[in-house]
Amino acid sequence: MITLYDFELSGNCYKLRLLMSILDLSYDIVPVDYFPGRENRADWFLRLNPFGQLPVLKDDDLVLADSGAILAYLAKKYDPSGQWFPDDPAVTAEVLRWHGVADGITGSSAAARLALSYGHDYDIPRAQREAHRIFRLMDEHLWFGEKQGRDWLCSPAHPTTADIACFPYVMLSEEGGIARQDYPALRRWTDRVRRVPGFVVMSGIFPAGRALS
């Protein structure tokens, strides 16, 4: 039995809801009032995750934290196709590299969003500059990918957990005052992610139109 300790407006929690929806897994949700209740600092939550961060996932007796780690766990355990977190060592390295970039996006785009919308005390201009630096690199990577016939962040011909890990806080960047106008390839990639079968929405992340069949 899977239980997700979840905050609806958290992009990191949404990553897990998104993958579990794609993998068609059923799970329970325990809502955690991250804002404004700060319930992630409550004793009962810190006993689950001493780092005080969402999301936390329980699978029977196993308790896991960190969205990237949980994505890898869910894919390795529940994805019979083996596509979402491939076994090939080189691809694993690629995926983990983008999980690292996803943490950078959280530390910049999500930080700006938390500062602007949730009153967190972060250096907003600095977070925005860092997000733009990452988005520039991603746009370049994705633009050359398109030219070389690659639609996703990693080299396989299908999406991986890397795409899920990076996606939410790219989509939510406007809430942190970070426009995506200068990143057309990044914007096209978000359309592709939003067309993955099983895609679900969250507040601020809309579906894309149907692709031309």
Contact 34, 49 (CB under 8 A): no
In the region spanning residues 7 to 36, those forming contacts with other proteins, defined by CB under 8 A, are none
Q: Is 209 in the site for other proteins (CB under 8 A)?
A: yes
Crossing angle of helices 89-105 and 67-78, in 10° steps, is 150
One DSSP character per residue, 18-65 reads HHHHHTT---EEEE---TTT-GGGSHHHHHH-TT--S-EEEETTEEEE
Q: Is 197 in the site for other proteins (CB under 8 A)?
A: no
Binding window for other proteins (CB under 8 A); candidates: 11-19, 76-84, 160-168, 186-194: 186-194
The residues with which 164 forms a beta bridge, in sequence order, are none
Contact 180, 186 (CB under 8 A): yes
Task: Report the residue number, 120 or 187, with the smaller CB distance to other proteins.
Answer: 187
Task: Report the residue number, 8 or 146, with the smaller CB distance to other proteins.
Answer: 146
Q: Is 1 in the site for other proteins (CB under 8 A)?
A: no
User: Judging by beta carbons within 10 Å of its beta carbon (0-12, 13-18, 19+), is residue 195 exposed, middle or buried?
Assistant: middle
Binding window for other proteins (CB under 8 A); candidates: 11-19, 36-44, 45-53, 179-187: 179-187
Task: Report the residue number, 88 or 146, with the smaller CB distance to other proteins.
Answer: 146
Q: Tell which one of 182, 198, 200, 203 touches other proteins (CB under 8 A).
A: 182
One DSSP character per residue, 99-126 reads HHHHHHHIIIIIHHHHHHHH-----HHH
Least Å distance between CB 89 and other proteins? 26
x/- mask, other proteins, residues 117-156, rule CB under 8 A, reads -----------------------x--xx-xxx--------
Task: Report the residue number, 80 or 209, with the smaller CB distance to other proteins.
Answer: 209
Least Å distance between CB 191 and other proteins? 6
Report how far residue 133's alpha carbon sits from residue 112's, in angstroms, rounded to the nearest whole number. 14
Report how far residue 104's alpha carbon sits from residue 148's, in angstroms, rounded to the nearest whole number. 26
Q: Which residues bind other proteins (CB under 8 A)?
A: 140, 143-144, 146-148, 180-182, 184, 187-188, 191, 206-212
